[in-house]
Structure 1
Amino acid sequence: MHTWHWQTWQDLPYLTCGLLQDWSHGFFTQQFWVHAPEDLAEVLQPTAQVYRVKQVHSNTVLTAAEIDRAFAVEGDLETVAESDSATFPEADGIVSNEADQAVWVCTADCTPVLIADAQTGQVSAIHAGWRGTATKIVPRAIERLQQQGSQLSDLKIALGPAIAGEVYQVSRPVAAQIGSTVVPQEISPQSTDAEVEGLLDALSQIPDSPLLPDPQPGRARIDVRRVLALQLEQLGIAPEQMAIAPYCTYQSPEYFFSYRRERLKKVQWSGIVSA
Structure 2
Amino acid sequence: MADWHWQTWQGEEFLTCDLLGDWSHGFFTRQFWPQAPETLTAALAVDAAVQRVKQVHGNRVLTPADLPNPATTESASPRAEADGLLSDRPRQALWVCSADCSPVLIGDRATGQVAAVHAGWRGTAQAIVPVAVGRLQAQGSRPEDLVVAIGPAIAGAVYQVSVDVAAAVGRTLVPETGAEAADEAVVAELLTRHESPLLADSAPGKVRLDVRQANALQLEHLGLGKAQVAIAPHCTFQDPNRFFSYRRTGEKQVQWSGIVSRDIGD
Q: Shared topology, TM-score over 0.5?
A: yes
Shift of 1:61: 0.2
Q: Which amino acid aligns with 1:157?
A: V
1:253 to 240, 248, 254: 240
Conserved? CA contact 2:68–2:80, under 8 Å: no
Question: How many angstroms apart in 1 are the aligned matches of 2:73 and 2:168?
Answer: 36
Which residue number in structure 1 is paired with residue 177 of structure 2?
Answer: 185
User: Are positions 1:151 and 2:142 aligned together?
Assistant: yes
Unaligned runs of 5+ in 1: none
Matches within 5 A, 1:104-115: 104-115=95-106
Q: Please give the secondary structure, in 1, of the residue aligned with 2:67.
A: helix
Instruction: Give the C-alpha shift of residue 148 in structure 1.
Output: 0.8
Query: Does residue 1:97 correspond to 2:88, yes or no?
Result: yes
Q: Match for 1:62: what amino acid?
A: L
CA contact (8 A) 2:164 2:183 kept: yes
Q: Is the 2:191–2:200 Cα contact (8 Å) retained in structure 1?
A: no
Give the alignment's TM-score, normalised by structure 2.
0.95
Letter in 1 for 2:167: A
> Number of residues paired by the alignment?
261
Superposed displacement of residue 53, structure 1:
0.2
For 1:49, the equivalent position in structure 2 comes to: 49
CA RMSD between the two structures: 1.3
SS at match of 1:215: coil
Counterpart of 2:32 in structure 1 is 32
Structure 2 unaligned blocks of 5 or more: none
* Identity across the alignment (%): 57
- SS at 2:154's partner residue? coil
Query: In the alignment, does 2:243 pair up with 1:243?
Result: no
**2-side partners of 1:249 and 1:216: how far apart?**
23
Amino acid at match of 1:150: S
Q: TM-score, normalised by structure 1?
A: 0.92
Cα-to-partner distance string for 1:101-150 (whole Å, 9 max, x where unaligned): 00000000000000000011000000000000000000000011111111
Report how far residue 204 of structure 1 moved: 1.1
Quick check: 1:187–1:196 contact (8 Å CA) kept in 2? no
Structure 2 CA distance for aligned equivalents of residues 56 and 34 of structure 1: 20
